[in-house]
């Protein structure tokens, strides 16, 4: 852009850089406007102006650049209302604006006005020009409350998405400074390398063709977009799991009405076998491996004690649990059943903990109908770090049970 000092037959003496003409200032557009204005001044010796509502230079690299630009004579004009742009008879551009710092109307005639990329469409766009909803729908990914592609989930930060192999970097996931954009790119490259160098994929869900009714329930429920319906030979239609996309949460296995979908790491057979082994009077805790299992481990390492009758059954996600598992545990004589999931809004599999919450409520209803107190079933949300909370929840539950603990 700055390689020539000529615009047609006219020499370039003055350039205006506008960083946020559509109204949506960003750190990247500010950085770009300031660095281009500085280069124009230093390398080409022209008069350079930066026109912005707000120059977003709140990170070290940009702050240094901004100060250097000012020292080199770049003039910054801050406006509130869109500058009025018109053409002069000699082809130059006239910009008029109310400078909010000077409190005066300023007129500037320049040879070039430089706008940020894609600015033509910016003013029509919601969310400061970040129309990511459409792309999110195409990718089967979500957006955050501001409309950026990165979902509000601690397990996905900084660049991961709910889809394996889809990473979000830079502007699409927030108003980031240039250092963080570079870090994003490196992070995404490393994550992709890690995914591609996985030696083999063995723990994924699997649907039985013979019993699948192609009802789409699992397709809709899968938080990672890993299931699709395929047409097999002889007109059979069934659900198939994409092994690279599957994150083995088991949510699909819990929702399948035909028991056709199974989780290989936590199949019904495996879970029921663990329940069958229970002695009478135990307190059973179905623990999500992403949170409560780690909290329990941490509690052990920290020397915290919890009631001896506790039996932990690990599950890949609280959303894997079926009310059947809870009822079976009670049938086997469990004094109480606890379901531990991640904190709301922080489930690695997005809504697995909310699904579990609904199933726990359902199981409590079933228990009441069968004459068993629903208080014997409880859902607890915590994170992997909450070892003390884990112990306290178990202790409280145990002491509240008529058959166990304190009574």
Only segment of 44-52, 126-134, 254-262, 340-348 that touches ligand SF4 (CB under 6 A): 254-262
Which has the closest alpha carbon to 112: 12, 232, 234, 249?
A: 12
Q: Is 347 in the site for ligand SF4 (CB under 6 A)?
A: no
Q: Which of residues 220-249 bind ligand SF4 (CB under 6 A)?
A: 222, 224, 226-227, 239, 241, 246-249
Q: How far is the CB of 250 from ligand SF4 (least distance, A)?
A: 5
Q: How far is the CB of 216 from ligand SF4 (least distance, A)?
A: 6
Q: Is 366 in the site for ligand SF4 (CB under 6 A)?
A: no
Q: Is 215 in the site for ligand SF4 (CB under 6 A)?
A: yes
Other CB atoms closer than 10 Å to residue 225's CB: what's the count?
Answer: 18
Q: Is 258 in the site for ligand SF4 (CB under 6 A)?
A: yes
- Cβ proximity to ligand SF4: between 102 and 201 the closer is 201
- Cβ proximity to ligand SF4: between 65 and 205 the closer is 205
Any idea which residue has 């100060």 for tokens? 67
Measured between alpha carbons, how far is 9 from 30 in angstroms, rounded to an integer? 31
Measured between alpha carbons, how far is 155 from 153 in angstroms, rounded to an integer? 5
- Cβ proximity to ligand SF4: between 130 and 163 the closer is 163
What's the length of the chain?
407
Q: How far is the CB of 341 from ligand SF4 (least distance, A)?
A: 15
Measured between alpha carbons, how far is 237 from 95 in angstroms, rounded to an integer? 64
Measured between alpha carbons, how far is 79 from 98 in angstroms, rounded to an integer? 6
- Cβ proximity to ligand SF4: between 135 and 258 the closer is 258
Q: Which of residues 263-292 bind ligand SF4 (CB under 6 A)?
A: 263
Measured between alpha carbons, how far is 204 from 371 in angstroms, rounded to an integer? 38
The stretches of 340-386 forming alpha helices (DSSP H) are 352-369
Per the DSSP assignment, residues forming a β-bridge with 207 are: 261
Q: Is 175 in the site for ligand SF4 (CB under 6 A)?
A: no
Q: How far is the CB of 251 from ligand SF4 (least distance, A)?
A: 4
> Which of 100, 107, 186, 216 is close enough to bind ligand SF4 by CB under 6 A?
216
Q: How far is the CB of 173 from ligand SF4 (least distance, A)?
A: 22
Measured between alpha carbons, how far is 149 from 229 in angstroms, rounded to an integer? 26
Q: Is 250 in the site for ligand SF4 (CB under 6 A)?
A: yes
- Cβ proximity to ligand SF4: between 108 and 227 the closer is 227
Measured between alpha carbons, how far is 281 from 336 in angstroms, rounded to an integer? 8
> Which of 26, 32, 153, 260 is close enough to bind ligand SF4 by CB under 6 A?
260
Q: Answer for the pair 132, 172: CB distance below 8 angstroms, yes or no.
A: yes
Q: Is 29 in the site for ligand SF4 (CB under 6 A)?
A: no
Q: Is 318 in the site for ligand SF4 (CB under 6 A)?
A: no
Size of the site for ligand SF4 (CB under 6 A): 28
Q: Answer for the pair 7, 35: CB distance below 8 angstroms, yes or no.
A: no
Classify the phi-psi angles of 118: left when phi > 0, otherwise alpha if psi is within -120 to 50, otherwise beta. Answer: left
What are the structure tokens assigned to 363, written together? 């199981």
Q: What is the DSSP letter of 12?
A: P
Strand ranges (E), 226-354 = 227-231, 237-241, 261-263, 283-288, 310-315, 336-341
- Cβ proximity to ligand SF4: between 26 and 247 the closer is 247
Only segment of 11-19, 90-98, 213-221, 284-292 that touches ligand SF4 (CB under 6 A): 213-221
Any idea which residue has 């894609």 for tokens? 118
> Which of 18, 37, 207, 284 is close enough to bind ligand SF4 by CB under 6 A?
207
Residues contributing to the site for ligand SF4 (CB under 6 A): 204-205, 207, 212-218, 222, 224, 226-227, 239, 241, 246-252, 256, 258, 260-261, 263
């Amino acid at each position: 852009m700055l390689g020539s000092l000529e615009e047609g037959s006219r020499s370039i003496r003055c350039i205006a850089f506008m960083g946020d003409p559509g109204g949506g200032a960003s750190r990247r557009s500010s950085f770009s406007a300031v660095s281009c204005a500085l280069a124009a001044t230093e390398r080409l010796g022209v008069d350079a102006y930066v026109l912005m509502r707000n120059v977003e230079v709140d990170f070290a690299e940009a702050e240094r650049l901004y100060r250097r630009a000012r020292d080199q004579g770049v003039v910054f004009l801050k406006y509130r209302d869109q500058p009025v742009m018109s053409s002069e008879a000699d082809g130059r551009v006239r910009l008029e604006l109310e400078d909010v710092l000077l409190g005066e109307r300023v007129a500037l005639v320049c040879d070039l006005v430089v706008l940020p990329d894609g600015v033509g469409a910016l003013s029509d766009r919601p969310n400061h020009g970040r129309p990511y909803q459409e792309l999110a729908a195409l990718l089967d990914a979500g957006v955050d409350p501001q409309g950026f592609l990165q979902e509000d989930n601690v397990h996905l930060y900084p660049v991961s998405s709910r889809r394996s192999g889809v990473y979000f970097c830079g502007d699409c996931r927030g108003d980031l400074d240039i250092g963080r954009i570079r870090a994003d790119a490196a992070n995404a490259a490393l994550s992709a390398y890690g995914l591609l160098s996985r030696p083999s994929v063995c723990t994924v869900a699997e649907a039985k063709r013979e019993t699948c009714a192609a009802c789409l329930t699992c397709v809709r429920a899968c938080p990672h977009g890993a299931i699709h319906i395929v047409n097999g030979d002889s007109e059979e239609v069934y659900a198939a799991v994409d092994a690279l996309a599957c994150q083995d949460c088991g949510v699909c296995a819990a929702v399948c009405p035909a028991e056709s979908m199974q989780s290989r790491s936590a199949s019904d057979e495996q879970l029921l076998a663990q329940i069958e082994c229970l002695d009478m009077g135990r307190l059973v805790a179905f623990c999500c491996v992403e949170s409560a299992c780690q909290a329990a481990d941490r509690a052990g390492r920290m020397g915290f004690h919890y009631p001896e009758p506790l039996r932990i059954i690990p599950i890949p996600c609280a959303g894997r649990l079926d009310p059947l598992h809870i009822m079976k545990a009670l049938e086997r004589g469990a004094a109480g059943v606890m379901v531990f999931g991640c904190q709301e809004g922080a489930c690695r599999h997005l809504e697995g903990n909310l699904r579990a919450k609904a199933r726990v409520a359902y199981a409590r209803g079933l228990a009441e109908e069968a004459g068993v107190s629903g208080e014997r079933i409880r859902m607890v949300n915590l994170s992997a770090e909450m070892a003390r909370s884990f112990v306290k929840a178990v202790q409280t539950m145990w002491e509240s049970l008529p058959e166990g603990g304190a009574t």
